[in-house]
Chains A and B, each alone.
Chain A
Amino acid sequence: MRADFVTREVFTGLRRNVTMTIAMVLTTAISLGLVGTGLLAVRTIDRTEQLYSDRVEVQVALTADVSAADTDCSQPVCQGLRTTLENSPLVDSVRFESQQQAYERYLELFEGQALADVVRPQSLPATLRVRLADQEAGSAAVVQAMTGQVGVRNIIDQRDVVAKLFDFLGGVRNVTFALALVQAVAALLLISNTVQVSAYTRRTEVGVMRLVGATRWYTQLPFLIEAVVTGVVGALIASAGLLAGKFLFIDQLLSGIVSNGVVPPIELSDVVWVSPILVMIGAGVAAVTGYVTLRLYVRL
């Protein structure tokens, strides 16, 4: 195989259909850009889940009388509840927060705000803060075990709050993947079409090649490489787009909630992690599409 020959054929081919080539590169780039966005969303969701899994607790709030009477969970009602919880294999640990502690934390949270002055320790419940060993089954078990028990006011599963965030991130992921899929179909058809046009404009060459005994590789490889080159260029543009998007757009958009630790930031390394995946997808899909097209539609 002569590399210089194939290279020359590929560039002639790309130049000859330059408008088609550009359309193909752009469509591929948009499609892969969306795939990349989706992958970054998935990664962010994973990170966020990790971030919260060690922080999220189920709070069992105690009734006002128990809260007021018991400052260290030493009395029977609170201790009974605590023991029940601690005996569950789904529970990792239980921490008691007294009214006074809750008040102090509240002051800290709302420091400098009018709300801080309104609240008195008595208006806050003491809570049993439960860390789960099993994130999936744990909260339901705790809710079931505590509901209706003497001394329990209500149960707050922090995961319900966090779930909204996950829903949002999951939505972002689903929408981008759906758009990516639509774009991918367009990209596939364009690649297939371009390969056919390319083969048609070069039918004389290919005819001569066949006649003088060129192997299938020689006749088909230029078309395949043409498709792969556009796929890879599209992937590179997509990666550049993701980088630009990160620095110009996402970083500013998320800066508030990222610095508060609500959502983990999208790191440069994440984009670097996504890029080779996009290049592989771009090259692979283009190669397969090109090959199938040559096999099915082009007689070489």
Chain B
Amino acid sequence: MIRLERVTKTYKTSSRPALDRVSVNVEKGEFVFLIGPSGSGKSTFLRLLLREDVPTRGSIFVSDMDVAKLPRRRVPKLRQRIGCVFQDFRLLPNKTVGENVAFALEVIGKSSGTIRKVVPEVLDLVGLGGKAERLPHELSGGEQQRVAIARAFVNRPLVLLADEPTGNLDPDTSQDIMLLLERINRTGTTVVMATHDHSIVDSMRRRVVELDMGQVVRDEVRGVYGVGR
């Protein structure tokens, strides 16, 4: 589903590459933690998958698309297959929960009939069934992240990228969010989650890819965050 082949990314402002000959293969339906200290290249990894940036060398495949060589006009197609969740939720503050989720479908041209049908379904899935009319600031952090996940998932992407999705949440709420991501993973969606959260990685026992100084230093099928960290 996701394949990186000797991907190197160098930024002009830095002498050390942000990613250094990274090769990773993620199968369809996998759940992968991407861990590593700040500046290890996790964000660059995710940005390259989204084609926010192109690699300096190497190639990246998402589904059947050659991401690095994708012409500009095809980039939206790629992004429609990838859902995204962030630490800071990125909800639109003046739109209700339902409108926030619907927005993601409107802007890719889905019909209002589809939207009316799909939005309540996905809100039920994330456990916000009765809260479609609320505004984001009326919700707790965990609930806001659920809205963000609903928005990322509503178009049924093949891949869900989560960049520190629990970074702003307390441990209990984080657990709930992880359960939700697991549920989404069980629908067959590949999940890649960048995180610093030891306890989550340790408790989930999923595949762990660790980056350090832009290189893959560990790739374990059932990993923990790391001994002595």
Chain A interface (Cβ < 8 Å from any Cβ of B): 1-2, 4-5, 204-205, 207-216, 218-219
Contacts and interface: CB of A to CB of B under 8 A. Distances in A.
B135 to A, nearest CB: 14
A214 B151 CA distance: 14
Given A204-B90, A204-B92, A207-B90, A212 B151 contact: yes
7 contacts: A205-B92, A211-B79, A211-B84, A213-B75, A213-B108, A214-B108, A218-B109
Contacts of B92: 204-205, 208
Interface of B: 50, 73, 75-84, 90, 92-93, 103-104, 106-109, 111-112, 151-152, 155
A218 B90 contact: no
Contacts of A4: 112
Given A204-B92, A211-B50, A212-B155, A2 B106 contact: yes
A212 B104 contact: yes
Contact of A214 (B50, B76, B82): B76
Q: Is the interface of A mostly helix, strand, loop or mixed?
A: helix
B76 A213 contact: yes
Nearest to A207: B90
A216 B72 CA distance: 10
Closest CB pairs A-B (n = 6): A213-B80, A213-B79, A214-B107, A212-B104, A213-B76, A209-B107
B85 to A, nearest CB: 10
A1 B109 contact: yes
A8 B73 CA distance: 25
Nearest to A202: B92
B194 to A, nearest CB: 15
Contact of A5 (B77, B79, B106): B106
A138 B77 CA distance: 71
Given A5-B107, A212-B79, 12 more contacts: A2-B109, A2-B111, A4-B112, A208-B104, A212-B108, A213-B75, A213-B76, A213-B79, A213-B82, A215-B108, A218-B109, A219-B107
